[in-house]
Chains A and B, each alone.
Chain A
Amino acid sequence: MAAIISLRNVVKRYLRGKQSVEVLHGIDLDIETGDFVALMGPSGSGKTTLLNLIGGLDTPSSGEVSVAGVRIDALGGARLARWRARNVGFVFQFYNLLPQLSAQRNVELPLLLTSLSAAQRRRNVQAALAIVGLSDRAHHKPSELSGGQAQRVAIARALVSDPTLLVCDEPTGDLDRATADEILGLLQTLNREQGKTVVMVTHDPKAAEFATHQLYLDKGELVSRSTKAVA
């Protein structure tokens, strides 16, 4: 399989006051289409920073980031935003749903950036909610959902516009074990049955077991890489 994500000598520095701090020190990485990658490592090792570069939420200080053949490190502003809308679905630790909109309206948000008609949008939203098993919660507000349900709505929002790549930053960090396993099972299904490439940051070794590949980041460097045999 071809690499959908490839990073070459990626360096990221942040300005802290007047000082420039290097957080990622020349990362080289290839992730293939259809992989489910768990990115692990201690707090502050640069996992979120790396994930943001892959998802096009931030740009590297130097080096190349290509995703699906596009050099996204060369994109900026509105073009990068359009690229994200078409190619990436994001799942966050705290779900990041808009609190005043129903589940259905939250899931619809990415479709408002497309030219789909209202009827087509409604169909796609229903399909996405069905995939995450929440068809009966379409009209609930986020405050009326449990944590697990809210994260499912967030996953439906991430996949409704059918992106090739799902980028998840500690998606189970706020959930109990059983609920976390359900969410991880869902991501695994999306990876296996819909062919989504998933990159997931996690602290949790049990969560990482759901992935096909595990990456370890320490102090801004990839230290090891293990591949689990796909059943």
Chain B
Amino acid sequence: MAGLANQIAAVTVNNLRSVPQRAGVSAVIVIGIAVTVAVLVSVLAMATGFGKTLANTGREDRAIVLRGGSQSELASTLSRENTLTIPDARGVRRSADGKPIASAEMVGIVSLKQKATGTKANVTLRGVGPKAFDLRPEIHLVAGRLFQPAVRELIVGKAALGQFEGVDLGRRVTIHDTEWTVVGVFDSGGGSHESELMADAETVLSAYRRNLFQSATVMLESRQAFDAFKDQLTTDPTLSVDVKRETEYYAEQSKQLSRLLFFVAYIVGGIMAVGAVFGALNTMYSAVSARALEIATLRAIGFGALPVVISVFVEALALALIGGALGAAAAWIFFNGSSVNTLGSNFTQVVFQLTVTPSLAMSGIVLACIVGILGGLFPAIRAARLPIAAALRAG
């Protein structure tokens, strides 16, 4: 056994040292794998970042109420009477003043110019109730002040501020022929509200000349209080509503896009991986033919096929690992933490950050190894079957 290990070591060492002489063709496998891994890791980083943003938005102990059958807030309407009934249901937490922590909200759409592209995109303007900030303690002002009720003032989420023009502190924004002033900037801990504008619900309703809300969100006494709350609302004959935990609601909102991103990651990554396998095959076949004389000489001396096969795989894996590491590093250097906005819930933009996690980098490296092994397989078989006499003659 020690003998075999020595044989493998000798053949592999000689081979790895000779790889620089095949640098050109070796680059095919390295670059092919690097590009594949970079694309896979970046798209997965997008899916991860998007999921993280929407997961940060929802809480298990908050519930959102929409009109029955509505898929999203935009498609929902709640009457003023409904928004008064809902907070009084069982299971809703109350603040020190004894009032339920709830916010009836109206969601409008504002079209703003994107800084990156100069094109217009939709941003959510969320009209919120007086208890909105007790309801969402994750929201903190980072500049300016809160809006006042009954005046046209709004605050802007940090992410929206980064992506869109004309919403800086103190600027005026025209919404439905009315002028609004940006008075504050807020942070919501990375959630999707950071991509929104917020203002007083009654003021927004009047600007839009509407009288219907779209959703009501309540803080529950605990996660367990959800069932009691839901039961009461869904059995109330005056209401026809759907009740969801916020986490469930945002997961549903993100499901389609997440699915699309994972689909893109695996399909595009898969197609590119197939291409990279062909590149790897090309590299390894030419490596084996460049080594034909060396392999035949070893076989003539009496070496078995195994050390030769292993040396082919080690070369393929070493090159694949270099490619995989380069690809993962490129994804991390160029994309980690960079912001992307995309259509999220309510057909408006959600801004989120690409997140290259160590486990994503690992999946990239694993893919690289699989490509390397597949690319080494057939060339290794050819190396093992090399006809000795013919190869010595050709050399």
- Whether A81 touches B302, Cβ cut-off 8 Å, given contacts A100-B14, A101-B14, A112-B10, is yes
Who on chain B is nearest to A84 by CB? Answer: B302
B299-356, CB < 8 A from A? 299-304
Per the bound structure, the CA–CA distance linking A58 and B390 in Å amounts to 9
- Whether A109 touches B10, Cβ cut-off 8 Å, given contacts A81-B304, A84-B302, A90-B301, is yes
User: Are B14 and A81 in contact, CB atoms less than 8 angstroms apart?
Assistant: no
The answer, yes or no, to whether B392 is at the interface (CB within 8 Å) is yes
Among B299, B300, B304, B388: residue with most chain A CB under 10 A: B300
Binds B, one of A91-99, A190-198, A211-219: A91-99
Within 8 Å CB of B17, what residues of A?
100
User: Are A105 and B10 in contact, CB atoms less than 8 angstroms apart?
Assistant: yes
The answer, yes or no, to whether B265 is at the interface (CB within 8 Å) is no
Within 8 Å CB of A109, what residues of B?
10, 298, 301, 303
Per the bound structure, the CA–CA distance linking A78 and B299 in Å amounts to 10
User: Are A112 and B18 in contact, CB atoms less than 8 angstroms apart?
Assistant: no
Q: In the complex, how many angstroms separate the beta carbon of B270 from the nearest chain A beta carbon?
A: 37
User: Are B301 and A85 in contact, CB atoms less than 8 angstroms apart?
Assistant: yes
User: Are B297 and A96 in contact, CB atoms less than 8 angstroms apart?
Assistant: yes
Who on chain A is nearest to B298 by CB? Answer: A109
User: Are A98 and B389 in contact, CB atoms less than 8 angstroms apart?
Assistant: no
The answer, yes or no, to whether A226 is at the interface (CB within 8 Å) is no
Within 8 Å CB of A114, what residues of B?
3
The answer, yes or no, to whether B92 is at the interface (CB within 8 Å) is no
User: Are A78 and B304 in contact, CB atoms less than 8 angstroms apart?
Assistant: yes
Our pick among A98, A101, A112 for the contact of B6 (Cβ within 8 Å) is: A112
Among B18, B293, B303: residue with most chain A CB under 10 A: B303
Query: How many A residues, CB 8 Å from partner?
Result: 28
Interface majority SS on B: helix, strand, loop or mixed?
helix
The answer, yes or no, to whether B72 is at the interface (CB within 8 Å) is no
User: Are A99 and B14 in contact, CB atoms less than 8 angstroms apart?
Assistant: yes
User: Are A100 and B18 in contact, CB atoms less than 8 angstroms apart?
Assistant: yes
User: Are A99 and B10 in contact, CB atoms less than 8 angstroms apart?
Assistant: no
Per the bound structure, the CA–CA distance linking A189 and B297 in Å amounts to 25
The answer, yes or no, to whether B363 is at the interface (CB within 8 Å) is no
The answer, yes or no, to whether B7 is at the interface (CB within 8 Å) is yes
The answer, yes or no, to whether B13 is at the interface (CB within 8 Å) is yes
Within 8 Å CB of B395, what residues of A?
94, 96
- Whether A99 touches B18, Cβ cut-off 8 Å, given contacts A92-B392, A113-B301, A113-B303, is yes
- Whether A52 touches B389, Cβ cut-off 8 Å, given contacts A84-B301, A96-B297, A110-B301, is yes
Q: In the complex, how many angstroms separate the beta carbon of A161 from the nearest chain B beta carbon?
A: 9
Within 8 Å CB of A92, what residues of B?
297, 392
Within 8 Å CB of B300, what residues of A?
55, 57, 84, 90
The answer, yes or no, to whether A82 is at the interface (CB within 8 Å) is yes
Within 8 Å CB of B304, what residues of A?
78, 81
Who on chain A is nearest to B8 by CB? Answer: A112
Per the bound structure, the CA–CA distance linking A114 and B18 in Å amounts to 26
A51-100, CB < 8 A from B? 52, 55, 57-58, 78, 81-82, 84-86, 90, 92, 94, 96, 98-100
The answer, yes or no, to whether A115 is at the interface (CB within 8 Å) is yes
Per the bound structure, the CA–CA distance linking A43 and B393 in Å amounts to 13
User: Are B392 and A57 in contact, CB atoms less than 8 angstroms apart?
Assistant: yes
Our pick among B6, B10, B293, B389 for the contact of A96 (Cβ within 8 Å) is: B293
Q: In the complex, how many angstroms separate the beta carbon of B228 from the nearest chain A beta carbon?
A: 76
The answer, yes or no, to whether A188 is at the interface (CB within 8 Å) is no
User: Are B302 and A110 in contact, CB atoms less than 8 angstroms apart?
Assistant: yes
Q: In the complex, how many angstroms separate the beta carbon of A103 from the nearest chain B beta carbon?
A: 13
Per the bound structure, the CA–CA distance linking A157 and B303 in Å amounts to 14
Within 8 Å CB of A108, what residues of B?
10
The answer, yes or no, to whether A48 is at the interface (CB within 8 Å) is yes
Within 8 Å CB of B303, what residues of A?
81, 109, 113
Q: In the complex, how many angstroms separate the beta carbon of A158 from the nearest chain B beta carbon?
A: 9
Per the bound structure, the CA–CA distance linking A100 and B300 in Å amounts to 19
Q: In the complex, how many angstroms separate the beta carbon of A41 from the nearest chain B beta carbon?
A: 16
Which A residues are within 8 Å of any B CB, using their own CB? 48, 52, 55, 57-58, 78, 81-82, 84-86, 90, 92, 94, 96, 98-101, 105, 108-110, 112-115, 157
Instruction: Report, nearest first, the 10 A-B pairs whose CB atoms are least far apart.
Output: A85-B302, A100-B17, A96-B297, A58-B389, A100-B14, A98-B14, A112-B6, A112-B7, A84-B302, A52-B389
Given contacts A57-B389, A58-B388, A98-B294, 10 further A-B contacts (CB under 8 A): A57-B392, A92-B297, A94-B395, A99-B18, A99-B294, A100-B14, A101-B13, A109-B301, A113-B302, A157-B301
Q: Please name 6 pairs of A and B residues whose Cβ atoms are closer than 8 Å in the assembled complex, sorted by A.
A: A55-B300, A85-B301, A92-B297, A96-B395, A108-B10, A112-B6
